[in-house]
Amino acid sequence: MMAFDVEAVRAQFPILSRQVNGKPLVYLDSAASAQKPRAVIDAMTAVMESSYSNVHRGLHTLANETTDAYEAARKSIARFVNAGENEIVFTKGGTEAVNLVASGLGATIKPGDEIVLTVMEHHANIVPWHFLRERLGAVLKFVPVLEDGQLDLAALPGLLTERTRMVAVTQMSNVLGTINPIAEIARIAHAAGAQVLVDGCQGVVHQPVDVKALDVDFYVFSGHKLYGPTGIGVLYGKSQALAALPPYQGGGEMIGEVRLEAITYADPPHRFEAGTPPIIEAIGLGAAVEWLNGIDRKAAAEHEARLYARVREGLRGANWLRVIGEAPGKGAIMAFTVDGAHAHDVAQILDRYGVAVRAGTHCAEPLMRRFGLTASARASFALYNTEGEADAFVDALTRTQAFFA
């Protein structure tokens, strides 16, 4: 197993040196939003300080420089997931990327057409499809989740019919940490004639992604979980899949020609990038993926897995603790409850010890209900967390439980 120099990684994240409530910050909320390395901060600052303009529309030097930087980011992201440049659409986040596809599919949805989702989806991969149910008569079906947090993959073929238009599934649950077999799901869905959309907002952070090998029609992710900025996301779509979608928004950039009596549209990806795009944010995301390209992703994933295992071992025998989701091979996310305590109270007390965790439904209410919960706390580990932080979390959680004992 390759050594992972976590201290060298941490040194690139300025915020990780701060204190919270007089304690060293232990940031365990990266599944909600990850911290940013100096490479991203510097890249975005440099655009604003030295070479900013709008893109694609000017002929002066600053416009050309900014356009080149913006499109270079698209190239970096395309390489990052093994896609063509024309298959990468910039959006304002993973949520907008799902909405873009759902809206486009809605142009051809007929009453009774089916969308297959899973019970473990984030709201961003449920609500846009409910729009098609409410407004167009689409039928939603859900793949169940087993008690250990695995997807009940055996149930998927029985949910597919000749009316199934889309199977939309998360690659990695933001609550359970479960990693789903996307290539197998895509094979089953395509055999039934359905398209496949993957929510990769968590998955792309913790494992290399090859959209061609996965053979998915659409793959979406956000920048802010991938050590990049907020306000930027990515939609990958197979060339033919994007070409079949109508425009999502209208405005500048997405047009071919505008006349009073008729309009023509640009080819993808620009067809889906109406108006001034998130220029600085896209460049920041490009910097983030280039930074990640300098990291041994396998070693980083092994490091995260060791942290999770260390925490679970440190809490062995804690009969006041319930961990939700123990699927084999899961990612380093621990959703949990403490007997006699509300998740919000647990998070607030942990914060006194400098430990930042999430509390609530994690935008996954159906999954919470599946496990009989109204809320849980969640600790999510990233490549910059340390064994010392894992131990600090165990100690702080044990101390927190004492408040409710």
Please report how many Cα atoms fall inside a 13 Å half-sphere around the Cα of residue 115, on the Cβ side. 28
Per-residue tokens: 151: 């997807």
Concerning whether 363 is annotated as a catalytic residue, the answer is yes
CA–CA gap between residue 304 and residue 118 (Å, rounded)? 26
Q: Is 328 exposed, middle or buried (0-12, 13-18, 19+ CB in 10 A)?
A: exposed
Per the DSSP assignment, residues forming a β-bridge with 234 are: 90, 221
Q: Is 260 exposed, middle or buried (0-12, 13-18, 19+ CB in 10 A)?
A: exposed
Q: Which of 74, 72, 131 is nearest to 268 (CA)?
A: 74
Per the DSSP assignment, residues forming a β-bridge with 151 are: 145
Among residues 363, 379, 382, 383, the one annotated as catalytic is: 363
Q: Are 364 and 123 in contact (CB under 8 A)?
A: yes
Q: Alpha helices, DSSP H only, in 228-342?
A: 239-243, 279-293, 297-314
Q: Is 293 exposed, middle or buried (0-12, 13-18, 19+ CB in 10 A)?
A: exposed
CA–CA gap between residue 294 and residue 84 (Å, rounded)? 21
Compute and round to an integer the Cα radius of gyration of the chain. Answer: 22
Q: Which of 77, 83, 109, 54 is nearest to 211 (CA)?
A: 83
Residues annotated as part of the active site? 363
